Amino acid sequence: MNTLEETTGRSLASRFKHRFMYALIAMGGRQAAYWFLYPLVWIYCLHKSVRNKSRAYIERRFSPTTKSAFWKHTFRLNVTFGKTLVDRAALGILGKATFITDDTARRTCEELIKQGKGVLMLTAHVGCWQSAVNCMEFLHTPMHVLYYRNPRDNDKTVAEHRGKQAPFSFINPAGPLGGVPEMMSALRRGEIVCAMADRVFGQPKNSVEVHFLGGTVRVPYSFYRLAAVTGAPVVVAFFPWEGKGKLSAWVCPPIYVEDQGADKAGYQPYAQRFIDALAQFCIKYPYQFFNYFDWWEQYATRDDRRSQTTDCREY
């Protein structure tokens, strides 16, 4: 699978359609844009190519037995995705969002930061991750986001809507050595690095196999090796959409990775813990998984293994 072509944020809508939605948000707020989403998504879902993008997940998560059931799940998934995009744009255009956290989540992050080893925050293409990274100034620590900007992406970032600098810096995984030197330097300065740990950027050899929703998928293992080398704790966090202009934090206890050297198999259990947490998220928020490709392609061996329970708390 070519990650660069299919799994890195290529826009489905044209630049004009994006600008139309931005204008609608500016004039009518989120609600006007939400209402427009319904007929728009309905039209998109009429296209088989669009339905096929989420087919693998829909079939594994819901096991629909009729075409109408499959279409309903697809429609709900895409509407939810659309609302997260509207809210991200509204955060930049209107400057409004409610990030629901509690003192426990904040204290956990603050205590980890005080250790001086940095924090490696791993998340996935679920919920409102792009809005969340713009709402973490309360941690008072420099943040760096590993992010590839697809040239075909017509969507504006929150900072571009605001016309000011983002509250974090980008690290390009397409750069030399995949951005590893920049991530390592940031962690050694005691800063936060946020990365998406559910997609392999590059060759399959840079990944390990894990079990997810009854099949086998591949995820990168380099993050866990990076954590082992730097001593940085790994925090698995997802940011579910909770309604109009609202998002929350789903945070797991920190993971401390033991150095396994160059043996990537030694990091597989840590990757599996990440995926088990992701599976739990998909159980509670089934319409907030936004990997629009067949993740199980080429690794579709059936597996009846039940994911181990990971102690995650929703804040």
Average pLDDT, the chain: 89
- Structure confidence by residue, pLDDT tens digits, 225-245: 999 999 999 999 999 999 999
For residues 167 and 133, give the distance between their C-alpha atoms in angstroms, rounded to a whole number: 8
**For residues 38 and 116, what is the distance between their CA atoms, to the nearest angstrom?**
47
Average of per-residue pLDDT across 246-274: 95
- Record the tokens describing residue 179, joined without a space: 């951005």
Per residue in 60-88, pLDDT tens? 999 999 999 999 999 999 999 999 999 99
Q: Say how many Å lie between the first and final Cα of the chain, rounded.
A: 35
Look at the alpha carbons of 194, 128, 5, 148 in this order and tell me if their dihedral is positive or negative: negative
Q: To the nearest whole percent, how much of the chain has pLDDT over 70?
A: 90
Q: What is the mean pLDDT of residues 31-36?
A: 96
The whole-number pLDDT of residue 85 equals 95
pLDDT at 299: 53
pLDDT tens digit string along 134-185?
999 989 999 999 988 776 777 888 999 998 889 999 998 887 788 999 999 9
Tell me how far apart the alpha carbons of residues 262 and 275 are, in angstroms, rounded to a whole number: 22
The span from the CA of 133 to the CA of 46, in Å, is 33
Q: How many folded domains does the chain comprise?
A: 1
Query: Residue 134 sits in which domain range?
Result: 3-314
| CA dist list (Å): 116 to 67, 137, 182, 251, 269 | 53, 18, 17, 20, 25
- The arithmetic mean of pLDDT across residues 277-299, rounded, is 92
Q: Are 245 and 96 in contact (CB under 8 A)?
A: yes
CB 184 within 8 Å of CB 226: yes
Question: In the prediction, which pLDDT does 175 show?
Answer: 73
The answer to whether the CB of 251 falls within 8 A of the CB of 119 is no
CB 302 within 8 A of CB 215: yes
- CA 109 – CA 105 distance, rounded (Å): 6
Question: When comparing pLDDT for 112 and 202, which is higher?
Answer: 112
pLDDT of residue 315: 43
Strand partners, 99: 247
Check: CB of residue 45 under 8 Å from CB of residue 71.
yes
Q: What backbone phi and psi angles, to 5 degrees, belong to 251? A: -120, 135
Q: Determine the pLDDT at residue 103.
A: 83
pLDDT at 8: 56
Taking the C-alpha atoms of residue 15 and residue 169, their distance in angstroms, rounded to an integer, is 25
The predicted pLDDT at position 301 comes to 43
Give the separation between CA 36 and CA 281, rounded to whole angstroms.
28
